[in-house]
Structure 1
């Protein structure tokens, strides 16, 4: 929040400071680009992970220059002057405790678990153990993407544990035998903690970068930057850095697929033809 306050006093146009706020999922990309941008231009970039919805609101009210988001715009948001830039592709991994013998679920089974209809792991081939459903809060773009892709209109179980960030979900699942959660594929393996989790195959397809890239893994989504109006000046320069070939391997190392990859370009084109296109 201090970062947001700073942006109001020193905007990208008059103070040489960029403020980037929003999704914790997209935060690694924004931070890596910020470090490189500062080295190359001397412009300070303030990055904060407040959640996708909070980031979008910050851009709308002028307290941030760029919103990072792991969901697309709502109908109401799309009716404003927000401009969309797709920056990467990500898969959402469904994670369980390492000791859980279940290795995969069908999409129907996953939906049933998150709806509160399936409550014991024995119902899906596991041990006789109660399922602890871990969900994200309503500000989360990952939750919105999961809701759209997996739930498909079915309401979430209201008794599920609700956590505010990716790290918290991963930590709870790693420590709780019967827990299930969902996080970005890029966060399944982490060098910053000794706790471990495992991802489940969905409809027989493993949650891997390769399967997200080739379009076979069903729980995947675009990652976005949003700006108020067309980006210009330092904002435009920063976004161009993120989309450049120079950043491609860095983004891939973080567990995401960079937009500049030819394979992603082909996938995005196919999706646009199928769905009538999306803002870019």
Structure 2
């Protein structure tokens, strides 16, 4: 395990860091600025929507920061951001913060392996056992005699929280896994290391990695909408109380057909209206 973990750490050091903050640099007042912070999963939607929104509203600026779901929830709760984005549900201790949820999209969490790995399907119970350290060699799940290299997300990650809830039944992760702060880094390491396994949003899956089927079902829009893919979630934008003012205008724009049918789909996610009701 030490050799595998050392190799994975080396790839971590080479992974490209995701910029935290994007936005215009022109001077603005508090009245014409919208601050959106939180999930790195939702960041591509928020950033492209920001660009389209600013083109239509040149007197307004949207600042988008990918700092993790937990930080986004904390920021909107404390008033340091107008909108907090999250790829997980609120925790029990966050339910009394006065936050109002605007669901914006559906997503599948894809379990990814290196394209050279012949394993193309795992059961949900096998995935749980792998990420808890009970299965440590690919030969135990029909693959080659090769140690499994676990790649996990940090505890601030909404993707990690959702994965733990859906797959691990809120039980512990194997503490020996390499921990990474962003989706892009997980994908980069798995793409370079034949032994690695990780999990990322379906919208971030590229040809550099392979998303395995879970319980015989591949992650896709069709399997998310039908409910047959077992590892799926809703993506959220939270406000402190009911959205008003510029925050409401931006949220309404994100929910508009222009964004849902273009930006959301182009980012690899599923429009919130796809299941026939807002929020599912």
Q: TM-score, normalised by structure 2?
A: 0.88
1:235-250 alignment, distance < 5 Å: 235-250=247-262
Displacement of 1:2 after TM fit?
7.0
What residue is the counterpart of 2:110 in the other structure? Answer: 93
| Residue 265 of structure 2 corresponds to residue 252 of structure 1 | yes
| Residue 140 of structure 2 corresponds to residue 123 of structure 1 | yes
| Residue 210 of structure 2 corresponds to residue 198 of structure 1 | yes
| Residue 183 of structure 2 corresponds to residue 166 of structure 1 | yes
Between 242-251 and 113-122, report the one with greater CA deviation. 242-251
1:3/1:99 Cα in 2 relative to 1: closer, same or farther (>3 Å)?
Answer: closer
Contact in 1 for aligned 2:83/2:238 (Cα 8 Å)? yes
1:56-135 alignment, distance < 5 Å: 56-135=73-152
Count of residue pairs the alignment pairs up: 256
| Residue 46 of structure 2 corresponds to residue 30 of structure 1 | yes
Contact in 1 for aligned 2:108/2:224 (Cα 8 Å)? yes
1:50-61 alignment, distance < 5 Å: 50-61=67-78
Partners of 2:93 and 2:177 lie apart in 1 by 28
Q: Which runs of 5+ in 1 are unaligned?
A: 191-195, 269-280
Contact in 2 for aligned 1:51/1:140 (Cα 8 Å)? yes
Partners of 1:228 and 1:267 lie apart in 2 by 18
1:260/1:146 Cα in 2 relative to 1: closer, same or farther (>3 Å)?
Answer: same
What residue is the counterpart of 1:214 in the other structure? Answer: 226
1:49-100 alpha-carbon deviations (Å, 9 max, x no partner): 0000011111112111101100011112111111111110000000000000
Partners of 2:56 and 2:279 lie apart in 1 by 32
1:218-256 alpha-carbon deviations (Å, 9 max, x no partner): 000000001111110111010001111121222112111
Displacement of 1:120 after TM fit?
0.1
1:254-273 alignment, distance < 5 Å: 254-261=267-274, 263-265=275-277, 268=280
Other structure's SS at 1:88 match: strand
Q: TM-score, normalised by structure 1?
A: 0.88
Query: Structure 1 segments of 4 or more deviating over 6 A?
Result: 1-4
Between 171-180 and 28-37, report the one with greater CA deviation. 28-37
Partners of 2:194 and 2:276 lie apart in 1 by 36
1:189/1:117 Cα in 2 relative to 1: closer, same or farther (>3 Å)?
Answer: same
1:140/1:109 Cα in 2 relative to 1: closer, same or farther (>3 Å)?
Answer: same
Partners of 1:264 and 1:34 lie apart in 2 by 26
What residue is the counterpart of 2:5 in the other structure? Answer: none
1:114-165 alpha-carbon deviations (Å, 9 max, x no partner): 0000000000000000000111000000000000000003211011111000
1:98-121 alpha-carbon deviations (Å, 9 max, x no partner): 000000100110000000000000
1:83/1:25 Cα in 2 relative to 1: closer, same or farther (>3 Å)?
Answer: same
